[in-house]
Amino acid sequence: MEAHPAIDVRKLGRAFTPGAWLFQGLSFQQAPGEQVALLGESGVGKSTLLNILAGLEPPDQGEVVILGQSLAALTEPQRLALRRSQIGFVFQAFHLLPHLSALQNVMVPCLLKGDPPAQAAEAAMHWLDRLGLGHRSQALPSTLSGGEQQRVAVARALVHRPALVFADEPTGNLDPVTAHQVLEALSEACRSVTATLLMVTHSLRAAALLDRQLVVRADGVHPSPDGASGQVL
Ligand SMILES: Nc1ncnc2c1ncn2[C@@H]1O[C@H](COP(=O)(O)OP(=O)(O)O)[C@@H](O)[C@H]1O
Ligand SMILES: [Mg+2]
């Protein structure tokens, strides 16, 4: 039997004002472990789409099936549990907790899942090491460079072994060289644990590092005509 897609988006529509569709008829699938770049002009609804996929807000049309599970069929506590166990996030603005060390920040998803602190610390240290930040584990975020902070955020996104990682313009605040290094680290980290990666980006160079590119438009999501700029959704 064929495995479920990791992500199955079916004719999704969102309108913050009734009748004024941000997007409509948006459909795509992602195979387990597949890495997809989501492109599209500012304001088309890329962040909104990630929020819907994470079960943080409901769509106005259509359905999202994550790991074979329809989000609409779950209760709010079940969606929270799915998010905590199966999804990791990386945001543009890092969103590290300023009063916690790098290690403590990375431990948070494990603690939220209920792992014992010693186990959480071990997993967090493992991921900081893998991202080249083992020597900075006790540092507060404010003492880290932007690239280091985002690598802490990558470690935090993967530490609880999620099946899916959502990244919303994760390198938007970094200089081009650092951005490329962080993106390679994110992609490699996801590949190493076969996590499915969906990443919003404005960088065609960044998008080209992933397996497939999709473009969000008001009327849906599509592949790029030439394969370079992505399928237009
Ligand atoms: N909660 C909300 N209520 C009303 N409008 C919203 C809300 N969230 C986003 N929007 C609007 O939806 C549009 C798409 O936003 P967003 O998903 O952030 O786009 P993108 O990430 O592609 O730049 C924007 O015009 C934004 O102002
Ligand atoms: Mg956005």
Backbone dihedral angles phi then psi of residue 140, each to the nearest 5 degrees: -80, 150
Which of 226 and 2 is assigned the larger pLDDT? 2
Q: CB within 8 A of 138, min separation 6: which ones?
A: 101, 102, 103
pLDDT tens, position by position, 60-92: 999 999 999 999 999 999 999 999 999 999 998
Ligand nearest to the CA of 48: 1
Q: Of 148, 160, 150, 147, which is closest to residue 195 (Cα–Cα)?
A: 160
Residues 60, 45: contact at Cβ < 8 Å? Answer: no
Residue 82 located in a structural domain: yes
pLDDT value for 195: 97
pLDDT value for 233: 63
We report the CATH number of the domain holding residue 184 as: 3.40.50.300
Backbone dihedral angles phi then psi of residue 13, each to the nearest 5 degrees: -135, 145
pLDDT tens, position by position, 101-126: 999 999 999 999 999 999 999 999 99
Q: Of 12, 24, 48, which is best to mutate to test ligand 1, by the most ligand atoms within 8 angstroms of its C-beta?
A: 48
Residue 141 located in a structural domain: yes
> In which band, very low, low, confident or very high, does the pLDDT at 93 lie, cut at 50, 70 and 90?
confident
pLDDT value for 200: 96
Residue 148 located in a structural domain: yes
User: What share of the chain in percent tops pLDDT 70?
Assistant: 94
Residue 184 located in a structural domain: yes
pLDDT value for 228: 46
Q: Of 93, 98, 90, which is closest to residue 158 (Cα–Cα)?
A: 90
Domain count, the chain: 1
Q: Of 147, 154, 150, which is closest to residue 176 (Cα–Cα)?
A: 147
Residue 121 located in a structural domain: yes
pLDDT value for 191: 97
Mean pLDDT of the chain: 92
Which 8-state DSSP code applies to residue 31?
Answer: -
**Would you mind telling me the total number of residues written for the chain in this entry?**
233
Ligand 1, closest atom to CA 216? 22
| Total-model pTM | 0.93
Residue 10 located in a structural domain: no
Strand order in the sheet with 69-70: 23-30, 7-14, 61-66, 69-70
